[in-house]
Amino acid sequence: QRRDLLSPEGLRADGRRPNELRRIRCKMGVLSRTDGSAYYEQGNTKLTVSVFGPKQATHRRTAKHDRALVNCEYRTCAFSSGEHKTKGSKGDKRSIETASIIQKVFETAIVTTLYPNSQINIYVEILQSDGSEKCAAINAVTLALIDAGIPMKDFVVACSAGYLMGTPVLDINYMEDSTGGGPNLPLAILPKSGKVTMMQMDSKLPLDVFESVMNLAIEGAKMIYEFLLNEVKIQNT
């Protein structure tokens, strides 16, 4: 089954080449009751993000006197993947972990010192999952924060990369991730400086291969950045 993922001509199961991203579509300002929102599609992974804030911190004790708090909640809908999940999942470990990652990444990217004693809430809802949800979520959160007018030091863009049959591949989908496809490296950068703010990997890779996979993910993220930058300009004029 590993063999089906990369054909001898170098094409992946969904027809992409190893360094090709899936089609990305996004729309900002889709929800009327939020301060900022975005709908984001990367291939068959679809999600919406809503942002509320900056507003008064709900619990005085947790508020910080010199900066804003950033909270994140990550939820997958019951109909989002192959099997039905009762009542969606919000409290399970994976969702909590992803929420925590997003929170830490944006805590550094948002200029929180401008809003002491306040709170910014980010809600991610996965409508359909087909791999690389963490990365898609980070990209969508960036768009939603821009839509909300919250100042940030830079965009945060994320992309995943893997290693199939001796070739580094870009933008892993669900099949490539799950059916023994090999390592999955989601990575997020601040594009202007090129600094990496988030990186994970859940499998083993030899060190020399690791560098090429990581560089591919960074390149992919930069491509996504160009696309998002253009979309933001088009959608906000």
Q: How far is the CB of 67 from other proteins (least distance, A)?
A: 20
> Tokens 């709170």 correspond to what residue?
119
Q: How far is the CB of 141 from other proteins (least distance, A)?
A: 13
Q: How far is the CB of 133 from other proteins (least distance, A)?
A: 13
Using the minimum distance from each CB to other proteins, give the nearer residue, 73 or 219. 73
Q: How far is the CB of 222 from other proteins (least distance, A)?
A: 29
Q: How far is the CB of 117 from other proteins (least distance, A)?
A: 17
Using the minimum distance from each CB to other proteins, give the nearer residue, 19 or 117. 117
Which residues contribute to the site for other proteins (CB under 8 A)? 30-34, 37, 44, 48, 50, 52, 58, 73, 75, 77-84, 86-88, 90, 121, 123, 125, 127-130
Q: How far is the CB of 164 from other proteins (least distance, A)?
A: 23
Using the minimum distance from each CB to other proteins, give the nearer residue, 35 or 171. 35
Q: Enter the tokens of residue 7.
A: 């054909």
Angle, CA of 199, 200 and 204, to the nearest 5°: 130
Total residue length of the chain:
237
Using the minimum distance from each CB to other proteins, give the nearer residue, 125 or 171. 125
Q: What is the 3-state secondary structure (H, E, C) of the chain?
A: CCHHHECCCCCECCCCCCCCCCCEEEEECCCCCCCEEEEEEECCEEEEEEEEEEEECCCCCCCCCCCCEEEEEEEECCCCCCCCCCCCECCCHHHHHHHHHHHHHHHHHECHHHCCCEEEEEEEEEEECCCCHHHHHHHHHHHHHHHHCCCECCCCEEEEEEEECCEEEECCCHHHHHCCCCCEEEEEEECCCCEEEEECCCCCCCHHHHHHHHHHHHHHHHHHHHHHHHHHHHHCC
Q: How far is the CB of 32 from other proteins (least distance, A)?
A: 5
Radius of gyration of the chain (CA): 18
Using the minimum distance from each CB to other proteins, give the nearer residue, 50 or 197. 50
Using the minimum distance from each CB to other proteins, give the nearer residue, 130 or 171. 130
Using the minimum distance from each CB to other proteins, give the nearer residue, 32 or 237. 32
